[in-house]
Amino acid sequence: MPHSTSHLDTSPKADLVLLSWLAQLPKVELHLHLEGSLEPQMLFDLAVRNQVTLPYQNVKEVKQAFQFTQLQDFLDIYYQAATVLVTEQDFYDLTWAYLLKCKEQNVLHVEPFFDPQTHTERGISFATVINGIDRALEDSEEKLGISSELIMCFLRHLDEESAFATLILAMDHLDKLKGVGLDSSELGHPPEKFSRVFAKARELGLLTVAHAGEEGPADYIWTAINDLKVSRVDHGVNAIHDPALIKYLQESQIPLTVCPLSNTKLKVFDDMNQHNILDLLSLGICVTVNSDDPSYFGGYMTENFEALIVSLDMTQEQMIKLVENSITASFCCQQRKQQLSSALRDYI
């Protein structure tokens, strides 16, 4: 390995060696909201392009607004910013900008989320949204070497009827989708609220994931598993409070797609040095590192790994295991998983 120490040295030189090694470490991202990758400059550029009035005068004001005490603070700005996304080209440009960042950080496979209801509720057609995203994802495989699987999320603060209507719209585009997910405000909206929608999605051949155990309790993780039959749990950090659930996750190896910077930005943990991702890893849980909404939370994949190095003294071996978990937990075909594993082995 380029960096041979087991633990992060305190010397600046050792720090730089490990961080340099991390920069080109092959990575896989499984929990990323495309709308959450809308950078302040693109937000302004699209607002001008589409003649959308924003409550901010400049990029600096946008960044100042990105201070949150809870999930809802973030969501209020998130949905407001999404109004600048209007045309198919807007959705292409948004997705392509994220993929270029992935290329820069050596992220080889991505499974991004998108929230169609955020757009259809304001009159943007489902086809406009998904066609722009899909075109960028197709181009990324050919031009950037980044493979992908796309996941459509339902907004849990809306009702079951809206989710079903969205699933009906998606039925003409199943060839572009790998699965469905569940996001937005967790508290007060348990996973079982959408059991019938998820059952229908599974009948259509779609895999299922769901946000659970971020702000919500460990019980929400249980219902995501038992009622929604999820293949992965997004976030899931509150599993640590339920010994029976920890045992189940150890045995089942249902993955948790954890987002460290997001968790601290939204005060799930007050400080990164309190984060439990490495505790979960040491317990044999299939945890993975992801960036969630990187424009809002201060970093993409590399920055999330860096935060764990700096605050939790994460080792090189732990980083490798986290990437291995992401490959295992991904929805790509077995051949692609083997290619990703080979790229990781060749690097280390």
Per-residue tens of pLDDT for the chain, all 348 residues: 333 333 334 444 446 778 889 999 999 999 999 999 999 999 989 999 999 998 888 888 888 877 777 778 888 888 888 999 999 999 999 999 999 999 999 999 999 999 999 999 999 999 999 999 999 999 999 999 999 999 999 999 999 999 999 999 999 999 999 999 999 888 899 999 999 999 999 999 999 999 999 999 999 999 999 999 999 999 999 999 999 999 999 999 999 999 999 999 999 999 999 999 999 999 999 999 999 999 999 999 999 999 999 999 999 999 999 999 999 999 999 999 999 999 999 998
pLDDT at 279: 98
Q: Could you please report the per-residue DSSP string of 165-179?
A: HHHHHHGGGGGG-SE
CA atoms 342, 311, 302, 129: torsion sign? positive
The superfamily CATH assigns to domain 12-347 is Metal-dependent hydrolases (3.20.20.140)
Residues whose CB falls within 8 Å of the CB of residue 146, separated by 6 or more in sequence, listed in order: 99, 102, 103, 107, 108, 109, 110, 140
Is 7 annotated as a binding-site member? no
Give CA–CA dist 83/125, Å, rounded.
13
| Surface-to-core class of residue 250, CB atoms within 10 Å of its CB (0-12 exposed, 13-18 middle, 19+ buried) | middle
User: In the 8-state DSSP scheme, what is residue 147?
Assistant: E
pTM of the model: 0.93
Rounded to whole angstroms, what are the CA distances from 348 to 95, 169, 202, 290, 323? 30, 44, 38, 20, 12
Is 109 annotated as a binding-site member? no
214 is catalytic: yes
Is 33 annotated as a binding-site member? yes
The two tokens of residue 56 are 């901010």
Which of 88, 149, 214, 306 is catalytic? The answer is: 214
Give CA–CA dist 244/250, Å, rounded.
10
Element (H or E) spanning 140, and its range? helix 126-143
Is 241 annotated as a binding-site member? no
- Backbone phi, psi, residue 325, to 5°: -60, -40
Is 211 annotated as a binding-site member? yes
User: In the 8-state DSSP scheme, what is residue 273?
Assistant: G
Domain residue ranges in the chain: 12-347
- DSSP β-bridge partners for residue 258: 289
pLDDT at 58: 84
